[in-house]
Structure 1
Amino acid sequence: MTKLRLSVLDQTPVGEDHTPDRALRASVDLARVAEGLGYTRYWVAEHHDSPGFASSAPEILAGALLARTSRMRIGTGGVLLPRYDPAKVAEVFGVLASLHPGRVDLGIGRAGGPARDFPQRLAELHALLAEGGVVPQAPVPPQMWLLGAGRESARLAGLLGTEFAFGHFFSPVGGREAFEDYRARFRTATGGRAGGALAVRVVTADSAGRAEELAQSMLLWRARKDLGQDGPLPSYETTRRHRWTGAELERAKVHRTALVSGAPEQVSAVLTALAGSHGVDELIINTLTCDPSDRRRSYELLAEAFALPARHPEPATVGSA
């Protein structure tokens, strides 16, 4: 059996009584920890106008993380292409990949604007990265990923021959069919064998009880967001005192199906089964907690459970591979 690789999808969560600048610094700290723990890649997300996330400029944060790490792949999960000129995206990531060859991922999302011309925008960006036409043209182009939670994105990724990540945390059903479509079209387009990765929302802790407390906080935040009360992630104390409404309980029940939580041995078993059923050898782990220390501990425990190869840090220098 192929050993599973784990990666990180960081949405830079802002906890109750915390500030966005603290959340950004916590992301920098977590990336350095994740590299030492043996995670394969570290992606930062793009969100706008959300009090719960400080991740509005992923290309800027990715640059900061590249400068503070030395081996792990760094990228976006993902740049919302409908908001931007494809040539500008290619230029930005050309700079990052020129300074940090072989370490840059460009993950693309289709949210953020009209979707009707998304395939054309994606094809233009892919051509610019693969064939040139912008300055700088990196010696080692960034690895392009298409992110999605449906079959249409999977088919587009296959047709273009890019990597594909399915957002299980966004839609826990349909992943198997999406990967089937992706791999079939990838094989037709390139003659090669596609891989792919599954992005899963996870929280674990030193005990199942503590993991459940963290899960409840995450579910309350998500339920409130669905009901138009977008805000920072609530603390354990706030969640414990909260009197759930019927509507909140209903939304939490829906989102529970997309959350893997529990003690490390419970979580690792579920994640291993998910990877097997989707035919992937890489899981991209997304964890949201109010306190950055709980998030860090969750990633540490996962690294232990999956026996990731710990790495000794190297000096991070511009131009290092």
Structure 2
Amino acid sequence: MAEHHGSAAFAGTAPEIVAGGVPAATSSLRVGSGGVLLPRYRPEKVAEVFTVLCALHPGRVDLGVGRAGGPAHDFPHRVVELLRRLPDGPPVWLLGASPGSADLAADLGTAYCFAHFLNPGPGVAAMARYRTAAQPRGAVAVRVVVADTEVGARRLAEALLLWRARRDLGIDEPLPDPDRVAAHAWSEPERVRAAVDAHALVSGTPEQVRADLVELAHRHGVDELVVNTPTHDPADRLRSYRLLAEAMADAPVSTG
């Protein structure tokens, strides 16, 4: 459950609310924040909220925190204060996209999730540095689009890349319909930005994506992936998740 504010494309202003509602409506699903933007809040309040959530849903809630949303200079201190107030609380995940965030997670003994979908370049180095932790638990967050055919996957991927490119260029809009994208006259800055963003996207048929994700997990030394699939139509997102789940069911990841 992510946290975003003031965006036309993202719905997720209060992950702690959704992280309570989902377990209440399900019987076994594990839910986490991905993540609470710690610079926006007092660490003690975040600890209190998630302590209550864990009491309501024992063993089913994780707390992921990130440093976006405010001044970052005191983020390590805020994480330390949060951990101090959660001796018996939920598992804490530090979310980041740099070797520095991996070092912090290793130093503090938290789990660590690398944001491949934001900045794939430092991923391998960051995860290698994180594995110096005594008992590391790492994951990689990946943007993924799956469809029944290559053509269908390409349509969804192009829509996502146009949206992301325009957002990078300061135009924050809802995700576009693939038909609108097919008729769109791409500007040169949009094409350049989309080519960069494409490196952070895994897309294709179930078989193609399975192979790519298994290789990505092995390269980063993890056996857990967090998958994010933004689409205009929720039905396309649900279909993507179902196809991916079926494809990965017989493809266990082993990092050796």
TM value normalised by structure 1: 0.77
Alignment CA distance shift 1:123-1:308 (3 Å): farther
Are 1:149 and 2:97 counterparts?
Answer: yes
Runs of 4 or more, structure 1, over 4 Å off, are none
1:176 is displaced (CA, Å) by: 1.4
Question: In structure 2, what is the equivalent of residue 209 of structure 1?
Answer: 151
Equivalent residues in 2 for 1:1-321 (5 A)?
A: 44-130=1-87, 141-184=89-132, 186-187=133-134, 193-307=135-249
Q: Work out the CA distance in 2 between the residues paired with 1:254 and 1:66.
A: 37
1:195 is displaced (CA, Å) by: 2.6
1:308 is displaced (CA, Å) by: 6.8
When the two structures are aligned, how many residues end up with a matched partner?
A: 251
Percentage identity across paired residues of the two chains: 58
| Structure 1 residue matching 2:86: 3-state secondary structure | helix
Quick one: higher RCO (CA 8 Å, sep 6+), 1 or 2? Answer: 1
- 8 Å CA contact retained: 2:128, 2:221: no
Q: Work out the CA distance in 2 between the residues paired with 1:308 and 1:48.
A: 38
| Structure 2 residue matching 1:201: 3-state secondary structure | strand
Structure 2, unmatched stretches of 5+, are: 252-256
Q: Work out the CA distance in 2 between the residues paired with 1:146 and 1:195.
A: 11
Q: Work out the CA distance in 1 between the residues paired with 2:26 and 2:104.
A: 32
1:72 is displaced (CA, Å) by: 2.0
Aligned letter for 1:223? A
CA deviation map 1:127-181 (0-9, x unaligned): 1001xxxxxxxxx521100000001111111111110000111111111111122
Aligned letter for 1:248? E
| Structure 1 residue matching 2:190: 3-state secondary structure | helix
- 8 Å CA contact retained: 1:169, 1:199: yes
- 8 Å CA contact retained: 1:203, 1:214: yes
| Structure 2 residue matching 1:256: 3-state secondary structure | helix
1:75 is displaced (CA, Å) by: 1.1
Aligned letter for 2:10? F
Aligned letter for 1:176? V
Q: Work out the CA distance in 1 between the residues paired with 2:55 and 2:137.
A: 25
- 8 Å CA contact retained: 2:217, 2:224: yes
Q: Work out the CA distance in 2 between the residues paired with 1:205 and 1:47.
A: 27
Q: Work out the CA distance in 1 between the residues paired with 2:82 and 2:215.
A: 35
Aligned letter for 1:87? E
Give the RMSD, CA atoms, in angstroms.
Answer: 1.1
- 8 Å CA contact retained: 1:86, 1:124: yes
Aligned letter for 2:151? G
CA deviation map 1:78-122 (0-9, x unaligned): 000000000000010011000001111000000000001100000
Q: Work out the CA distance in 1 between the residues paired with 2:114 and 2:101.
A: 9
Structure 1, unmatched stretches of 5+, are: 1-43, 131-139, 188-192, 310-321
- 8 Å CA contact retained: 1:102, 1:141: no
1:70 is displaced (CA, Å) by: 1.6
